[in-house]
Amino acid sequence: MSGEHTVDEIVTNFLLDTCRLRPQRTRHAVLAAACCARVATRHPDDDTEDYVIPLTTGSVAEFYIEPMLPHVGDLDVMYHRSTELAIPRGHPPPTQLPAEFSDHVKVREIVDSDFPGYVYLELRYSLTECTDDDGMCRYTCFTYDPGQYLSYRPGDPQSIHGPAMLINDTYLDVDLVTCVRCLSWLPQAADWQTRDRIYGWPDSATVDRVVSNGCDVVHVAHRQYKHDEWMNEYQWRLSFSRAEIVLLNSWMPVQQIVCHVNKLLKDSDSSESLSNYHIKTLMMWACELKTNTFWSRDLITICVNLLHFICLAG
């Protein structure tokens, strides 16, 4: 038994010593920034007033540790158009918008579908920026009749997986995800903001930052509609990638290392029963439900406990 403890301590010290905090921008971060710069030069439909605003997501943005083994398989980049905005259903149209948006913006209400998290985007307002007599820039509003839904026709189906389109960059594959920006926190996720957190994670400042970032809506239909032509064109899914970036960057280093190790264990499982998304989501639940004492154990014990937690949750 003492020998097992010694091995656990050796492995723990090795992981803590080799999973360094990033002293500077990594190669992957530089490649992601270059990819975002290229994406930002696009003008959809050759409209010079309509441009795209990219955001690096996934492991490059979420992890501040740099393990010895690679933890970035590809780059994840989301982008939204400067002329499209989503709002919760029933919310009034905004009178002011961030500078990244164009002078003319279509505002679409988020309409729930039969499946939680899957929605439709219904055109409700058209905003046009104007300057008041006092010099303030505001938006005037035109209201549309209901029934006009946003569609999206992706490219080659062979390059599509989930909401992402896989493109081959010079050095790494890139998962490029088109989205519609929502500046508000959604009523569908209101309980996340207010629920009790007995162990203090995330703290109130982190919760406030997550909520203030709003969310996005990405184009993907529910798997039950995989062969439904209309649903594949008009159904979207809520995305909280911005929230995940903030939350994972608020983790202690040991929590980031444990998540990385569990992803490696997942990759060694030939059954492919778990995805990186499952690991990350269950890790966030563990961070809420486990005490600080739990995270002070050796890493082997933590990983084994979390694998049991994952099995029970599954």
The pTM for the full model equals 0.87
Does 122 map to a domain?
Answer: yes
Tell me the three state secondary structure of residue 200. Answer: coil
Does 27 map to a domain?
Answer: yes
**pLDDT at position 158, please?**
47
Does 140 map to a domain?
Answer: yes
Phi, psi of 88 (to 5 degrees): -60, 150
Does 29 map to a domain?
Answer: yes
pLDDT digits (tens, 9 = 90+) for 277-286: 888 888 999 9
Reading the block at residue 90, the tokens are 């029933």
The domain of 207 spans 2-250
Taken in order 116, 117, 123, 128, the sign of the CA dihedral is: positive
Tell me the three state secondary structure of residue 26. Answer: coil
User: Can you tell me the distance from the alpha carbon of 162 to that of 177, in angstroms, rounded to the nearest whole number?
Assistant: 9
Reading the block at residue 78, the tokens are 């989301």
Does 262 map to a domain?
Answer: no
Residue 236 · residue 84 · CB < 8 Å: no
Q: Residue type at 90?
A: G
| pLDDT, one tens digit for every residue, the chain (314 residues) | 555 567 778 777 777 777 777 656 677 778 888 888 888 887 766 566 788 999 999 888 998 888 776 666 678 899 999 999 999 999 999 988 999 999 999 999 999 999 999 999 999 999 998 877 666 677 888 999 989 999 987 655 445 655 666 666 656 678 889 999 999 999 999 999 999 999 999 999 999 999 999 999 999 999 898 888 999 899 999 999 999 999 999 999 999 999 988 887 776 665 566 778 888 888 999 999 999 899 988 888 898 888 887 776 65
CA dihedral of 215, 220, 223, 227, whole degrees rounded to 10:
160
The domain total for the chain is 1
- Return the residue matching tokens 């008009």: 234
Q: How many CB atoms lie within 10 A of CB 311?
A: 9
pLDDT digits (tens, 9 = 90+) for 181-208: 999 999 999 999 999 999 999 999 999 9
Does 291 map to a domain?
Answer: no
Does 296 map to a domain?
Answer: no
Phi, psi of 98 (to 5 degrees): -60, 155
Residue 113 · residue 222 · CB < 8 Å: yes
Does 16 map to a domain?
Answer: yes
